Amino acid sequence: MNDEIVFLSSTAWVIVRALPITLVLALASAIGATGLAGVLVVMQQSRSLRPLARLWIFVFRGTPLLLQMFMVYYGVAALGPIRHGVLWPLFRDPLFCAWLALTCCCSAYIAEVLRAALASIPSGQIEAALACGMGSWTRARRVIVPQMVRLALPAYGNEIVMMVKSTSLASTITVVDVTGVAQLVIAHSYRTLDVFCLAAAVYLGLTGGLTALLHRIERRFLQETPR
């Protein structure tokens, strides 16, 4: 019994120590995917750039994230211009490759969330802003963006939670995150169920805290944003 407690406590500590890698990857991917999604939404408003944005969304929504990570880490990184160019220090780092795949994939989903929110804004409000003489930047800052954020926030929060859980796939390309550490412990101890239950508890705590934070931000934003 004592040995069991010692094993579980020591394993839990080892897994928790890998949590910063998961947090950094999730935070960096969320920032990158949100910024790229914003660019995609802007591109969809342009007749000439709309096909390119739609192609990006179609490709990254239609292929598995795991396959995308493999293609970046084992495929793109093996190309001659990458391997022998200035980008090689980045692409030989599995953490960067995981970030790039997560950013590209999740940007497609977030772009659709933002596009749907933008389409839900009543056209009469935009026409009223035009009638008041607002320029494009003023109209976006005071009318469009605040309402778009309010409408998109619930679905956007779900995408962020899914992104945090998707970081576990980074362990397949040798990133030593929470799942990667769990796999290393299992390889030495052969205690599969125990170790994965501990890793699952860490993810539950992480996503539970993130969900509570997002709900709090959503309630506060809805209270402060005029309808």
Per-residue pLDDT tens digits for 32-62: 999 999 999 999 988 999 999 999 999 999 9
Give the integer Cα–Cα distance in Å for 134 and 132.
Answer: 6
Q: 1.10.443.10, 3.40.50.10860, 3.30.420.270, 1.10.3720.10: which CATH number matches 2-224?
A: 1.10.3720.10
72, 81 contact by CB (below 8 A)? no
| HSE-CB for 19 with a 13 A CA cutoff | 17
153, 219 contact by CB (below 8 A)? no
Give the integer Cα–Cα distance in Å for 32 and 4.
Answer: 42
Give the pLDDT mean for 68-92: 93
| pTM attached to this predicted model | 0.89
Asked if pLDDT for residue 139 goes beyond 70, the answer is yes
pLDDT of residue 24: 96
Asked if pLDDT for residue 186 goes beyond 80, the answer is yes
Give the pLDDT mean for 171-200: 93
Residues in contact with 129: Cβ distance below 8 Å, sequence separation at least 6, in sequence order: 138, 139, 142, 143
Mean pLDDT of the chain: 90
Give the pLDDT mean for 118-145: 75
pLDDT of residue 225: 54
Query: DSSP letters of 10-61?
Result: HHHHHHHHTHHHHHHHHHHHHHHHHHHHHHHHHHHTSTTTHHHHHHHHHHHH
Two tokens, residue 43:
């591109």
The SS3 assignment for 173 reads helix
Asked if pLDDT for residue 131 goes beyond 80, the answer is no
pLDDT of residue 69: 96
94-128: pLDDT as tens digits: 999 999 999 999 999 999 999 999 888 877 777 77
Who wins on pLDDT, 221 or 205?
205
Residue type for position 141: R
Who wins on pLDDT, 133 or 158?
158
User: Residue 210: which pLDDT band, with cuts at 50, 70 and 90?
Assistant: very high
Which residue in 146, 26, 39, 152 sits closest to 98, CA to CA? 26
* Residue spans per domain, the chain: 2-224
Two tokens, residue 20:
């910063």
Percent of the chain with pLDDT over 70: 95
